[in-house]
């Protein structure tokens, strides 16, 4: 086959004219007149082809929100619903648009699941891109895309890719899982062209003992390259259809879908179909890639997100890895919030949607119930995939053989439909569906909740509302943070959506059938509060007077907590009139959550929720501004270097938007740093104090101790994630936060109130030295600041003392204004400083008592919780007032 067969993108080889796609007319939904199961019709050139061809791609462009991300080279369709903010791209099409496109999805609307940035591969580099076939094989080799196309027989067939997270939003509403909220459109179907992997493996000749085939992509992520594995046996089985693909719907691969070459594994979750392929490695054991272990698993339902953090062996258990898809289905029409007239001409409504199963199994029935499963009716099923099986021998599409006639397996979704009299819909309170496959596996009634929220497949349920002369239909959820759906509504009204009856009360039976919610969740709302709050009302509380904020659609008044908030009133002001759900849940303890009902004042109305959700997709920011930090918006800074300062600590340097930009952080305050869990995209947010000078321009430095996992302890979530971010990637910052600020000459502001301090006792340990250092530096750098400082710094070993040199230089140049005492709990023989922990005797000796005779003294503390607790007890005994001891 000739090289020029690699079609340039956006100039389709076929069809040359736009294919007509049978579309459901949205405007006619009130009358219900529309055509049934969608199929693309064919262009003139392909008139003889008796199977569906893809819809034509539209013209795409780089979206403004991608300009500042590593994906600024990728053109995308603006209709895609972004599920994880701006970057990386994880998105699905609106369900109706996806269904209306028909059996095949255009690359424009195909869902995308990227764990990180999209590797760059220019058009002219496509053919020279190489990947290896290596490991337990007799003849390892490296192959270019050119070789792949020229030297091997090509095949083309349709495959539905499904993300294991499809429909996860439903799980997240029952209980938040460690994954972002996919709606029911996390699947798409395309015609893939490439080479059966068995042909490459036959050439490489696996050796005895080889059992797995690992794949690795070119995307370098926080925990290494994305990679996973499947069984060698499956790769060798032609019926499984595992392919190394270089074309999608007749075009060279779009960058989001693996340009220039990827694996396609029919019937299995999309997570195994590695994009931007660099290595195929034949092994004895399953992949040890981080993403193979910590992603795409269904752990047992009793394992909570918190417990899962300490169970490395459970994660590694291959029994919990997901390969084949499970049986699943969704209703596409009626759409969410669709209205159907009761007194119109329409007598029946065509209820329809999609279904799929895994491992090549066929959907053999789709059943619909209007009475909660007491009785069922059969829908008709249409398998467009079968039409490809009728292709004549020798038929080729996009340079690949279309030889599907012999294949028994099903790789694609199917469509189902059922005409239901409208009077029957009017008598019912919901429509539910379940699919069954040829292995007689039917979708379950009840959800199997698990920590990653994957493979969610209970009966798909639409609620029917009778509104005046119309019926209105309500889907279970809406994707991402979009509000809407009966699950959220029922949960907010206090219903138990895990009771097996969709939150409805059924008296006795309910007791008998109750499904345990996976561990009690803490309620943050006050069930007596009934007020609905509009966006306009919320926005009136966006300042420092009566700040209101939103968590999970509920409105809270932060005013009574301004003085007591450990992060200072600024943290509450920064959240005023915003939806701070993600941040709130990432930072706050269960205790803090349990306090929330006291501050709950109402529920945000639907319009306001949509408006806030739209805002939460990081807004375009003015990158020319002189101050980097913004209190209410996350700003991106580029990680430009990592330098080791000890065996477990590093200085992380970030580049701001421009050389003249300053951070904008008052002395003593902190910034919030936001990273995302590499597999689940869950936010990890912590407060840090930079060590760079407060007036530094263009850059930002942090010294961070990395808490690496050991055999007995899981590592620090934040520090491990930060350490694994490659240089050149962006990290989000927001601020300032903190209740303490040092304004110079002894003037402090504490939760907005001012006081003068003559003497500071500064107590720190480990990386707690950073806020202490910034206050010390502010005092010493100003020669006429007469405030005295005693720094007490406790560590384990000499190597653990962070910023030692700067501390000592400052003290030396302080003209007696500062004293410094280091103490080590595990000192070496040659250590000349203090020995032992910072305990009662130590503090009695070095800290001194509280201020007397008009002298004002204050203790500043930053370190681990154990140190803070000890200081609290000891200093109370030493007669220090509570308000003179401040914990950062
Ligand atoms: N391959 C690489 N190299 N990197 C990735 O992040 N994501 C996987 C898989 N292959 C991923 C990858 C996941 S989880 C899915 S569901 C599919 O790609 C999605 O494929 P698509 O984005 O083309 O729809």
d(CA 772, CA 151): 65
Q: Mark whether 618 is an active-site residue.
A: no
Of 472, 396, 393, the closest CA to residue 429 belongs to 472
Q: Is the CB of 533 under 6 A from ligand 1?
A: no
Rounded percentage of the chain residues whose pLDDT exceeds 70? 92
Ligand 1 centroid, distance to 262 Cα (angstroms): 9
Q: Is the CB of 255 under 6 A from ligand 1?
A: no
Whether 98 has a pLDDT exceeding 80, the answer reads yes
d(CA 659, CA 664): 14
Q: How confident is the model at residue 171 (pLDDT cuts 50, 70, 90)?
A: very high
List residues forming the annotated binding site. 163
- Residue 161 in 3-state DSSP? strand
Q: Give the pLDDT confidence score for residue 44 in this predicted structure.
A: 43
Whether 7 has a pLDDT exceeding 50, the answer reads no
Q: How confident is the model at residue 140 (pLDDT cuts 50, 70, 90)?
A: very high
Higher pLDDT, 787 or 17: 787
d(CA 499, CA 874): 50
Catalytically annotated residue among 296, 328, 382, 456: 296
Q: Give the pLDDT confidence score for residue 521 in this predicted structure.
A: 65
Q: Give the pLDDT confidence score for residue 38 in this predicted structure.
A: 42
Pair of tokens at residue 517: 């919610």
Of 465, 464, 471, 466, the closest CA to residue 341 belongs to 471
Measured by CA distance, the residue closest to atom 24 of ligand 1 is 112
Q: Give the pLDDT confidence score for residue 309 in this predicted structure.
A: 82
Q: Which of 136-150, 198-212, 397-411, 701-715 has the lowest mean pLDDT?
A: 701-715
Q: Determine the Cα angle at 476 with ends 471 and 478, to 5°.
A: 100
* pTM of the predicted structure, to 2 decimals: 0.71
- Residue 607 in 3-state DSSP? helix
Given a contact cutoff of 8 angstroms between Cβ atoms, the answer to whether 308 and 314 are in contact is: yes
What average pLDDT does the segment 307-331 reach? 94
- DSSP of 64-128, one letter per residue? GGGTTSTTTT--B-TTSEESSSSSS-EEE--HHHHHHH-SSPPTTTS-EE-SSPPPP--GGGGGG
CA atoms within 13 A on the CB side of 210: 24
Q: Give the pLDDT confidence score for residue 208 in this predicted structure.
A: 97
Catalytically annotated residue among 91, 121, 163, 764: 163
Q: Is 866 exposed, middle or buried (0-12, 13-18, 19+ CB in 10 A)?
A: exposed
In the DSSP assignment, the letter for residue 348 is: E
Q: Give the pLDDT confidence score for residue 552 in this predicted structure.
A: 87
Q: Determine the Cα angle at 281 with ends 278 and 286, to 5°.
A: 120
d(CA 418, CA 416): 7
**Digit-coded pLDDT (tens) for 662-707:** 999 999 999 999 988 777 777 888 889 999 987 889 999 999 999 8
- Residue 570 in 3-state DSSP? helix
Q: Is the CB of 449 under 6 A from ligand 1?
A: no
What average pLDDT does the segment 215-239 reach? 95
What average pLDDT does the segment 104-112 reach? 97
Asked whether the CA dihedral 350, 351, 353, 357 is positive or negative, the reply is: negative
Q: Give the pLDDT confidence score for residue 511 in this predicted structure.
A: 42
Q: Determine the Cα angle at 178 with ends 174 and 183, to 5°.
A: 60
Q: Give the pLDDT confidence score for residue 85 in this predicted structure.
A: 83
Q: How confident is the model at residue 84 (pLDDT cuts 50, 70, 90)?
A: confident
Whether 113 has a pLDDT exceeding 80, the answer reads yes
Instruction: Report the chain's mean pLDDT, rounded to a whole number.
Output: 88
Catalytically annotated residue among 71, 108, 256, 295: 295
Q: How confident is the model at residue 616 (pLDDT cuts 50, 70, 90)?
A: low
Pocket mutation for ligand 1, best pick of 230, 271, 279 (most atoms within 8 Å of C-beta): 271
Torsion of CA 354, 360, 364, 368, to 10 degrees: -30
Given a contact cutoff of 8 angstroms between Cβ atoms, the answer to whether 418 and 352 are in contact is: yes
Rounded percentage of the chain residues whose pLDDT exceeds 90? 68
Question: Residue for token digits 């009017």?
Answer: 426
Higher pLDDT, 4 or 294: 294
Q: Give the pLDDT confidence score for residue 507 in this predicted structure.
A: 59
Q: Determine the Cα angle at 741 with ends 736 and 743, to 5°.
A: 120
d(CA 351, CA 72): 41
What average pLDDT does the segment 631-651 reach? 90
**Digit-coded pLDDT (tens) for 708-753:** 877 777 778 889 889 888 888 889 999 898 889 999 999 999 887 8
Q: Give the pLDDT confidence score for residue 24 in this predicted structure.
A: 37
C-alpha distances in Å from residue 103, one per residue of 220, 324, 502? 33, 21, 31
Task: Say how far residue 309 (Cα) sits from the centre of its chain.
Answer: 17
Question: Residue for token digits 């080479």?
Answer: 195
> What is the bridge-based pairing of β-strands 759-765 and 788-795?
parallel
Q: Which residues on neighbouring strands pair with residue 533, listed in sequence order?
A: 604
Q: Mark whether 163 is an active-site residue.
A: yes
What average pLDDT does the segment 762-768 reach? 93
Ligand 1 centroid, distance to 161 Cα (angstroms): 10
Pocket mutation for ligand 1, best pick of 92, 115, 179 (most atoms within 8 Å of C-beta): 115
Of 546, 552, 543, the closest CA to residue 584 belongs to 552
Pocket mutation for ligand 1, best pick of 273, 280, 294, 322 (most atoms within 8 Å of C-beta): 273
Q: Report residue 859: phi and psi, to 5°.
A: -105, 130
* First-last CA distance in the chain: 67
Given a contact cutoff of 8 angstroms between Cβ atoms, the answer to whether 367 and 433 are in contact is: yes
Q: How confident is the model at residue 620 (pLDDT cuts 50, 70, 90)?
A: low
Given a contact cutoff of 8 angstroms between Cβ atoms, the answer to whether 210 and 284 are in contact is: yes
Q: How confident is the model at residue 45 (pLDDT cuts 50, 70, 90)?
A: very low
Radius of gyration of the chain (CA): 30
Q: Give the pLDDT confidence score for residue 660 in this predicted structure.
A: 93
C-beta neighbour count of 513 within 10 angstroms: 13
Q: Give the pLDDT confidence score for residue 506 in this predicted structure.
A: 61
Q: Give the pLDDT confidence score for residue 48 in this predicted structure.
A: 62
Q: Which of 215-219, 223-227, 518-522, 781-785 has the lowest mean pLDDT?
A: 518-522
Q: Which of 156-165, 361-370, 423-432, 831-840 has the lowest mean pLDDT?
A: 831-840
Q: Give the pLDDT confidence score for residue 8 in this predicted structure.
A: 30
Ligand 1 centroid, distance to 163 Cα (angstroms): 8
Q: Mark whether 412 is an active-site residue.
A: no
């Amino acid at each position: 086959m000739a090289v020029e067969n690699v079609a340039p993108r956006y100039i389709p080889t076929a069809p040359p004219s736009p294919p007509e796609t049978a579309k459901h007319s949205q405007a006619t939904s009130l009358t219900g007149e529309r055509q049934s199961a969608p199929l693309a019709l064919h262009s003139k050139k392909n008139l003889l082809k008796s199977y569906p061809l893809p819809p034509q791609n539209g013209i795409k462009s780089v979206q403004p929100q991608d300009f500042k991300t590593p994906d600024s080279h990728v053109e995308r369709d603006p209709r895609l619903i972004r599920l994880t903010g701006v970057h990386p791209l994880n998105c699905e099409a609106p369900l109706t648009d996806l269904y209306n496109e028909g059996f095949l999805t255009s690359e424009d609307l195909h869902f995308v699941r990227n764990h990180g940035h999209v590797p760059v591969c220019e058009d002219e580099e496509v053919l020279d891109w190489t990947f290896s076939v290596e490991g337990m094989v007799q003849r390892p080799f490296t192959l270019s895309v050119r070789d792949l196309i020229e030297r091997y027989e090509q095949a083309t067939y349709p495959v539905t890719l499904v993300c294991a997270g499809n429909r996860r939003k439903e799980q997240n509403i029952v209980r938040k899982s460690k994954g972002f909220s996919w709606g029911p459109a996390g699947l798409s179907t395309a015609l893939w062209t490439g080479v059966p992997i068995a042909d490459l493996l036959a050439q490489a000749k696996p050796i005895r003992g080889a059992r797995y085939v690992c794949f690795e992509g070119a995307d370098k992520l926080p925990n290494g390259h994305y990679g996973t594995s499947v069984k060698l046996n499956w790769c060798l089985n032609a019926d499984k259809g595992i392919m190394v693909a270089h074309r999608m719907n007749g075009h060279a691969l779009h960058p989001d879908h693996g340009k220039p070459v990827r694996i396609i594994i029919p019937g299995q979750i999309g997570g195994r179909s590695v994009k931007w392929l660099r290595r195929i490695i034949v092994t004895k054991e399953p992949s040890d890639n981080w993403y193979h272990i910590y992603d795409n698993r269904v752990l047992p339902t009793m394992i909570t997100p918190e417990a899962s953090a300490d169970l490395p062996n459970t994660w590694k258990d291959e029994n919990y890895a997901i390969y084949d898809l499970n049986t699943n289905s969704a209703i596409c029409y009626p759409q969410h919030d669709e209205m159907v007239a009761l007194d119109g001409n329409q007598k029946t409504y065509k209820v329809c949607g999609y279904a799929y199963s895994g491992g090549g199994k066929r959907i053999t029935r789709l059943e619909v119930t209007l009475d909660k499963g007491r009785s069922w009716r059969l829908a008709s099923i249409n398998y467009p995939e079968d039409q490809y099986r009728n292709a004549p021998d020798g038929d080729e599409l996009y340079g690949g053989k279309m030889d599907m006639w012999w294949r028994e397996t099903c790789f694609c979704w199917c469509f189902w439909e059922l005409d239901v009299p409208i009077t029957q819909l009017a008598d019912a309170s919901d429509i539910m569906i379940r699919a069954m496959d040829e292995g007689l596996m039917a979708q379950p009634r009840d959800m199997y909740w698990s920590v990653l929220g994957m493979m969610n497949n209970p009966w798909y349920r639409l609620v029917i509302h009778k509104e005046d002369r119309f019926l209105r239909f309500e889907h279970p959820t809406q994707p991402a943070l979009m509000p809407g759906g009966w699950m959220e509504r029922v949960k907010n009204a206090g219903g138990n959506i895990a009771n097996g009856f969709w939150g409805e009360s059924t008296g006795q039976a309910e007791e008998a059938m109750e499904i345990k919610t996976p561990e009690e969740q803490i309620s943050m709302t006050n069930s007596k509060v009934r007020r609905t709050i509009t966006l306009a009302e919320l926005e009136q509380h966006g300042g420092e007077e009566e700040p209101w904020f939103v968590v999970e659609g509920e409105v809270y008044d932060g005013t009574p907590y301004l003085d007591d908030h450990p992060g200072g009133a600024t943290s509450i002001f920064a959240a005023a009139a915003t939806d701070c759900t993600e941040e709130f849940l990432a930072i706050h303890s269960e205790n803090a959550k349990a306090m929330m009902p006291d501050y709950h004042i109402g529920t945000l109305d639907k319009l306001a929720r949509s408006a806030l959700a739209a805002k939460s997709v990081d807004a375009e920011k003015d990158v020319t501004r002189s101050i980097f930090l913004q209190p209410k918006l996350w700003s991106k800074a580029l990680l430009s270097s990592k330098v080791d300062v000890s065996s477990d600590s590093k200085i992380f340097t970030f580049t701001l938007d421009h050389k003249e930009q300053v951070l904008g952080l008052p002395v003593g305050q902190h910034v919030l740093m936001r990273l995302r869990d590499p597999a689940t995209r869950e936010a990890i947010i912590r407060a840090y104090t930079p060590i760079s000078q407060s007036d530094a321009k263009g850059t930002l430095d942090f010294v961070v101790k990395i808490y690496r996992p050991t055999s007995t302890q899981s590592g620090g979530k934040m520090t491990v994630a930060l350490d694994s971010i490659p240089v050149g990637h962006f990290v989000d910052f927001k601020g300032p936060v903190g209740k303490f600020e040092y304004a110079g000459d002894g003037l402090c502001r504490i939760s907005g109130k001012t006081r003068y301090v003559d003497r500071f006792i500064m107590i720190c340990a480990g990386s707690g030295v950073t806020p202490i250092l910034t206050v010390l530096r502010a005092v010493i750098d100003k020669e006429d600041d007469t405030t005295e400082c005693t720094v007490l710094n406790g560590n384990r070993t000499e190597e653990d003392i962070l910023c030692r040199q700067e501390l000592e230089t400052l003290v030396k140049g302080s003209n007696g204004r500062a004293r410094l005492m280091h103490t080590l709990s595990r000192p070496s023989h040659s250590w000349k400083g203090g020995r032992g922990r910072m305990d009662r005797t130590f503090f009695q000796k070095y800290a001194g008592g509280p201020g007397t005779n008009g002298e004002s003294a204050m203790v500043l503390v930053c370190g681990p919780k154990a140190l803070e607790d000890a200081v609290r007890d000891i200093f109370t005994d030493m007669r220090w007032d509570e308000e003179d001891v401040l914990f950062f």
